Amino acid sequence: MAMQRRLTKATQEGKWRRVKALQRWLTHSFSAKALAVKRVTENQGKRTAGVDQQLWDSPSQKLAAIAQLKRHGYRPLPLRRVYIPKANGKMRPLGIPTMRDRAMQALHLLALDPVLETRSDPNSYGFRKYRATADAMSQLFLNLSKKDSATWVLDADIEGFFDNINHDWMASNVLMDRVILKKWLKSGVVDRGQLVSTDAGTPQGGIISPALANWTLNGLEKELKEHLIARFKTRGAKERKVNVVRYADDFVVTGQSKETLEHEVKPWIEHFLAVRGLRLSESKTRIVQIEDGFDFLGWNFRKYTGKLLIKPSKKNTKAFYEKLRKVIGDNLAATQESLIHLLNPMLRGWAQYHSPVVAKKAFTKMESRLHWRLLRWAMRRHPNKNRDWIRKRYWRPVADKANVFTADVITKDGKKGARELYSLPDTAIERHKKIKGEFHPYDPQWEAEGEKLRQDRMLKNLRYRRELATLYMDQSGLCALCGCEMDMGTGWHDHHIEYRVAGGSDALGNRVLLHPTCHARVHSQNIKVVKPVPA
């Protein structure tokens, strides 16, 4: 982190030779190499192998992997092509690098990210530290909600973004080791047993791919506004209410008139993208009035009689219901407890995603459709029983609710308990606190802002578990074993200092929060954790 702060300062001062020297120093550091290996062996893809079918499972393999991260003689292997389904029914191609190539990407990302953050557009929110889709939504609300706000929107879509980025442009403009970058871009792909060369684009699936994608589109906001100011002098972007909000390769541009977006903004964007080997999709790019509405990041933005309302989009709602339907259909023989265990994380995640917008009506409708689907699931299990018997068997009154899908369970201490299905309508609607556009995670002057932001968002996520929120506050957001930060990216586990099997209680004094990997170390190596003293 100290080296990344120095990189940030050098970038802000425009000392590019020093930036290059610091990046080289960082990528040759043992600590950075160890951190890169740690990242690729502890994330969700740690059990997904590349074309060499190798995984780094044991501590000895991880230690040996650190020594493999050398620039001299490095030659990446081709990517392994896999396909995952998209929402529209088509397949999205992913390129899976080998473990060594992933670790090299993670290592060079440590050196690239501070430079990228310094040069990024203020309203770019995709795949950046502490930024989320809700921040992009909040910025659009600020741009469109007032009476005198822009009334037209360019809803843009880039055709085949990851597949068409110009390699020569990337090699000339991305501020990182160009030799290593070119090797990654030209490594090729093994698709259905055939080696295919890669002449353009950056593969989806690599650790550094989102950073390269962001770098490609950086300048879209700043340079567009500079162009409009130069073109119209005093009547620049501000007077024409031109604002850009981007999340990765998805972006929208607001404007005061259709003519501005059609004849000034869109041609400039087309030229901006053409330099990078990209182009707008003619079928999906459109200019609409805010009264007609548009979809962005799973939400629908539309003004009703002058008031902007943001709701879950129909497409997002339909896709989520289909996901629920498939899970229920695939678990016709599962117990009620198991089904609730599968559905609750899905319901809670979808509800929390839409909790900052006008979603009560969507939540209620989804709850009703889910109730009907679960009723069919239960009737299939008991074809000879009537609906009243089934409702009494699977639904019961809880607190002030008449009927809740509830299963009997046995708790850890052997007592009888109940597990309820998460209630969508009970999700609180709460306005999202937007991150400041100028926020820089590696700049010391934003340190206090970053700490507060991280703590507020973690506490919001833990709100449904008050005990975990208390533990998080007592530990100042730090892991009780390694002392490093815990956030949404790292995750956390609830650990009992004196094990339950040894008579330990569930009291907060006997519990701490640990990183998932630290928790695994505690149990595999029999490490004694000490309760940290609250600050």
Are 243 and 271 part of one and the same domain?
A: yes
In this prediction, residue 88 carries a pLDDT of 64
Are 302 and 216 part of one and the same domain?
A: yes
Smallest CA-to-CA distance from 79 within 231, 228, 257, 201 is with 201
Q: Is the pLDDT of residue 56 over 60?
A: yes
Indicate whether 381 belongs to any domain: yes
In this prediction, residue 337 carries a pLDDT of 92
Secondary structure (DSSP) of 397-416:
EETTEEEEEEEEEE-TTS-E
Note the pLDDT tens digit of each residue in 496-506.
888 766 667 77
Are 409 and 486 part of one and the same domain?
A: no
Indicate whether 33 belongs to any domain: yes
Bigger pLDDT: 458 or 21?
21
Indicate whether 190 belongs to any domain: no
pLDDT range class, residue 463, cuts 50, 70, 90: low
Indicate whether 106 belongs to any domain: yes
Are 19 and 157 part of one and the same domain?
A: no
Element housing 322 (H / E): helix 314-329
In this prediction, residue 400 carries a pLDDT of 75
Q: Tell me which residue range forms the domain holding 395.
A: 314-420
**Residue that the structure tokens 């002058």 belong to:** 306
As a whole-number percent, the residues of the chain with pLDDT over 90 amount to 63
Which range, of 59-73, 75-89, 303-317, averages the lowest pLDDT?
75-89
> Of 291, 311, 331, which residue is a domain's last?
311
> Of 292, 311, 330, which residue is a domain's last?
311
For the chain, what is the mean pLDDT? 90
Q: How many CB atoms lie within 10 A of CB 305?
A: 5
Indicate whether 498 belongs to any domain: yes
Are 287 and 380 part of one and the same domain?
A: no
Q: Is the pLDDT of residue 280 over 80?
A: yes
Indicate whether 519 belongs to any domain: yes
In this prediction, residue 237 carries a pLDDT of 66
What lies within 8 Å, CB to CB, of 50 at 6+ separation is 77, 79, 80, 96, 97, 98, 99, 101, 102
Bigger pLDDT: 452 or 17?
17
Are 233 and 128 part of one and the same domain?
A: yes
Q: Is the pLDDT of residue 203 over 90?
A: no
In this prediction, residue 496 carries a pLDDT of 86
Note the pLDDT tens digit of each residue in 134-166.
999 999 999 999 999 999 999 999 998 988 899
> Of 279, 311, 343, which residue is a domain's last?
311
The residue count of the chain comes to 535
Are 1 and 84 part of one and the same domain?
A: yes
Q: How far apart are CA 359 and CA 366, in angstroms?
A: 10
Indicate whether 192 belongs to any domain: no
Are 115 and 126 part of one and the same domain?
A: no
Are 74 and 93 part of one and the same domain?
A: yes
Note the pLDDT tens digit of each residue in 317-373.
999 999 999 999 999 999 999 999 999 999 999 999 999 999 999 999 999 999 999
Sort 371 into a burial class: Cβ within 10 Å, 0-12 / 13-18 / 19+.
middle
Q: What is the distance, to the nearest Å, from the Cα of residue 164 to the centroid of all Cα atoms in its chain? A: 23
Could you tell me if 153 and 254 are in contact, meaning their C-beta atoms sit under 8 angstroms apart? yes
What lies within 8 Å, CB to CB, of 446 at 6+ separation is 439, 440
CATH number at residue 479: 3.40.1800
Mean pLDDT in residue range 15-30: 96
Q: How far apart are CA 203 and CA 454, in angstroms?
A: 30
Total structural domains within the chain: 4
Indicate whether 155 belongs to any domain: yes
Note the pLDDT tens digit of each residue in 346-357.
999 999 999 999
Bigger pLDDT: 524 or 353?
353
Q: Is the pLDDT of residue 461 over 80?
A: no
pLDDT range class, residue 533, cuts 50, 70, 90: confident
Mean pLDDT in residue range 184-192: 89
Are 231 and 157 part of one and the same domain?
A: yes
Give the burial string for 193-202 (b: 16+ CB within 10 Å, else e). Answer: eeeeebebbb
Are 133 and 248 part of one and the same domain?
A: yes
CATH number at residue 238: 3.30.70
In this prediction, residue 413 carries a pLDDT of 59
Smallest CA-to-CA distance from 175 within 113, 102, 83 is with 113
Are 469 and 333 part of one and the same domain?
A: no
pLDDT range class, residue 234, cuts 50, 70, 90: low
